[in-house]
Amino acid sequence: MFNIAVVEDDNKEAETLISCLKRYGLEYQVPLNIERFHDAFSFLESNVPFDLIFMDIMMPGMNGMEAATKLRTKGNNTPIIFETNVAQYAVDGYEVGAIDYILKPVQFERLKKRLNKFFDTLENSSRVCINIKSEGNIQRFSSQEIYYVEVKGHEISYMTKRGRFICRGVMREIEKNLHQYGFLRCNACYLVNIDHIISINGLSIIMRNGDEVRISQPKKKEFMQEMTVYFAKDKM
């Protein structure tokens, strides 16, 4: 499931955008969960993790630029596509890390081009693609779609943005293949994607999808050291 926030005070504009997003999801078979916010304040207070944000620039109280700045200040780098009536206003959006803008009223063909561009970029930036044979069907995932991997005996469970997929396999081999892409073993049964960790409190890891995974006490020091090395390398 791909989570999208629509931050738009105008009901008609919001309905048009959401309708286009739903059409895109159906035509391209992309599972979308869309949540609409009527203003920037309610959006910033939500603290819900999203994969993409559509943000109106001109909103009362707090405009889209101000909201995006506050979001970046909090360390949230979720991609933003600005909605605007005037193209020149959107240029400033690149200063707060916006990836694109779209003119109002939103038209499906325009939206399609931007979403195709976004998903193409996402696919190209994905560090590895994985094929999982689950229930007789081959499912293809990018590493960034996977929250964590769990093993029970010879049964491997992938918790992903599209749900849970179960197959047969050996955790040792999966860990060997995914380690370089930011997947770390936190205990004997779990391999977590550290890009999707929200917080670590003691021996508890909270993942972006809300699940809690435990770090074993003997593993914690090594796990934290590997996280530090991974993020330091990612910034080089």
Is the separation of the CB atoms in 214 and 187 below 8 Å? yes
pLDDT tens string 185-231 = 999 999 999 888 888 888 999 998 999 999 999 989 999 988 887 76
Pick from 207, 200, 202, 198: nearest CA to 164: 207
Query: Is the pLDDT confidence value at 98 over 80?
Result: no
Record: fold of 129-234: OB fold (Dihydrolipoamide Acetyltransferase, E2P) (2.40.50)
Prediction pTM value: 0.55
9-18 contacts, C-beta under 8 A, 24 or more apart: 9/38, 9/39, 9/56, 9/59, 9/60, 10/56, 13/56, 13/83, 13/104, 13/105, 13/106, 16/105, 16/106, 17/54, 17/83, 17/106, 17/111
Pick from 36, 62, 54: nearest CA to 99: 54
Predicted confidence at residue 55, as pLDDT, reads 95
* DSSP letter for each residue of 25-46: HHHTT--EEEEEESSHHHHHHH
Residue 77 to residue 64: CA distance in whole angstroms: 15
Start and end residues for every CATH 2.40.50.1020 domain found in the chain: 129-234
pLDDT tens string 35-89 = 999 999 999 999 788 889 999 999 999 999 999 999 888 878 788 999 988 766 5
Is the separation of the CB atoms in 211 and 147 below 8 Å? yes
Pick from 20, 12, 76, 27: nearest CA to 50: 76
pLDDT tens string 6-21 = 999 999 999 999 999 9
CATH of span 2-125: 3.40.50.2300
Residue 51 to residue 39: CA distance in whole angstroms: 19
Start and end residues for every CATH 3.40.50.2300 domain found in the chain: 2-125
